[in-house]
Amino acid sequence: MYLLKSAHLGVKFTLPLLLTTVLFVACDREDEPIPTYMTIEPFELKATDTNKHGSISENITHADVFMFDSTTNESIQLGVFELPATFPVLNSGNFSLNIDPVIRANGSSNYLQPYPFYSRFSKNINLSNDEGLTVKPSTNYIEEAVFGMQEDFENGNTVFTVDRDDNDATAVTITSQDAFEGQYSGRIKLDTANAVIVAQTEGLFDLTISTAGKIYLELNYKTDVPLEFGIIPVEDNGLEGTANFEFVVLAKDRWNKIYFDLTEVISITGGLRFAIIMRAGIPLREGKYTLDEAEILLDNIKLVHF
């Protein structure tokens, strides 16, 4: 029997024992499963009835991915991934792949939520260890989605017609310059003489969480200054409650899409009727305006619920 001695540690090993260990490790590595690498590409939002849902602009940033094995009646959660994503899957065989479109509710990565008004993508797949799989998911507004408000500014209208700042010089107007899509978008111009706008929807919305379930406000925007949105509850006798400016977007020099989850805010008010309210202003720093003028662009404002 041969002895191997470490020059540094003075530890002796028998050669047969060393060879057995090497063979065991090699066999163990051979038994390790080979994963299939799955790639999920960004979602495509498809039109079903543009007269009902309007624009199909979207900001689906993540996907909630899981599979169902019909032979074992087992659901296999793969995870929530930022798109596009490539990740290993150790399972092999035939599965039903299911992908829920996930959005940053209120524009925050802390509130990743499957958007309740987009449909789930499903597809039968076969996973093989020797080849990858690429999936291009699609979704659409579900049939149950109700659009309580939809403003694309194409008809020369604007939903924010109630002036709350007592300044006729600040208002939402219509513009064809730098329109997001179509011919027109909404526009707000501010300057140091007219530095603030506060406006609300003229129409009131009769919604309760018990009947509407989920309530979201969608919009596209581009703005030089921070922009706030919220609700103002209104009693049956017309008495208004306190405006709740719960949501804010920061300055953005390119068009962006955002989804505001109004569900909890409306639930807390306990009221049955409310208006959407918006405000913005040129910021002050050390008593001076940070901009001489500012522009806010809006498009595709939707109030969506069940």
Give which of 253, 254, 234, 250 is closest to 242, Cα–Cα.
Answer: 234
* Structural domain includes residue 123: yes
pLDDT value at residue 48: 97
Q: Give the model's confidence band at 128: pLDDT under 50 very low, under 70 low, under 90 confident, else very high.
A: confident
**228 and 200 share one domain:** yes
User: Which residue segment(s) compose the domain that 200 sits in?
Assistant: 146-305
* Structural domain includes residue 3: no
* Structural domain includes residue 240: yes
DSSP for residue 130: T
Q: Kindly report, residue by residue over 173-217, the tens digit of the pLDDT.
A: 999 999 999 999 999 999 999 999 999 998 899 887 777 789 999
| Domain closes at, from 99, 114, 139 | 139
Q: Kindly report, residue by residue over 248-304, the tens digit of the pLDDT.
A: 999 999 999 999 999 999 888 876 789 999 999 999 999 999 999 999 999 999 999
Collapse the DSSP code of 27 into the 3-class scheme (helix H, G, I; strand E, B; otherwise coil) and give the result. Answer: helix
pLDDT value at residue 4: 39
**187 and 285 share one domain:** yes
pTM, 2 dp:
0.87
* Structural domain includes residue 65: yes
pLDDT value at residue 210: 73
Contact 300, 220 (CB under 8 A): yes
Collapse the DSSP code of 4 into the 3-class scheme (helix H, G, I; strand E, B; otherwise coil) and give the result. Answer: strand
Q: What is the CATH number of the domain that holds 105?
A: 2.60.40.10
Mean pLDDT for 7-16 is 42
* Structural domain includes residue 21: no
**111 and 159 share one domain:** no
* Structural domain includes residue 24: no
Mean pLDDT for 67-85 is 96
Contact 225, 294 (CB under 8 A): yes
**113 and 173 share one domain:** no
- Give the number of other CB atoms < 10 A from CB of residue 174: 16
**220 and 259 share one domain:** yes
Q: Kindly report, residue by residue over 37-55, the tens digit of the pLDDT.
A: 999 999 999 999 999 999 9
**168 and 290 share one domain:** yes
Q: Which residue has the higher pLDDT, 211 or 121?
A: 121
Contact 78, 97 (CB under 8 A): no
**105 and 225 share one domain:** no
| Domain closes at, from 112, 139, 166 | 139
Cross-strand bridge partners of residue 122: 98
Contact 257, 57 (CB under 8 A): yes
**118 and 159 share one domain:** no
| Domain closes at, from 92, 107, 139 | 139
Element (H, E) at 231: strand 227-234
**158 and 253 share one domain:** yes
Cross-strand bridge partners of residue 89: 36
**Cα 256 to the center of its chain, rounded Å:** 11
* Structural domain includes residue 228: yes
**291 and 157 share one domain:** yes
Rg of the chain over Cα atoms, rounded to whole angstroms, equals: 28
Alpha-carbon distance of 282 to 219, in angstroms, equals 21
Domain count, the chain: 2
Cβ neighbours of residue 42 closer than 8 Å, sequence gap 6 or more = 60, 83, 84
**196 and 269 share one domain:** yes
* Structural domain includes residue 29: no
Collapse the DSSP code of 131 into the 3-class scheme (helix H, G, I; strand E, B; otherwise coil) and give the result. Answer: coil
Tokens (6 digits) for 31: 């038994």
pLDDT value at residue 10: 42
In the 3-class helix/strand/coil scheme, how is 178-189 assigned residue by residue? CCCCCCCEEEEE
**112 and 186 share one domain:** no
Q: What is the CATH number of the domain that holds 208?
A: 2.60.120.260
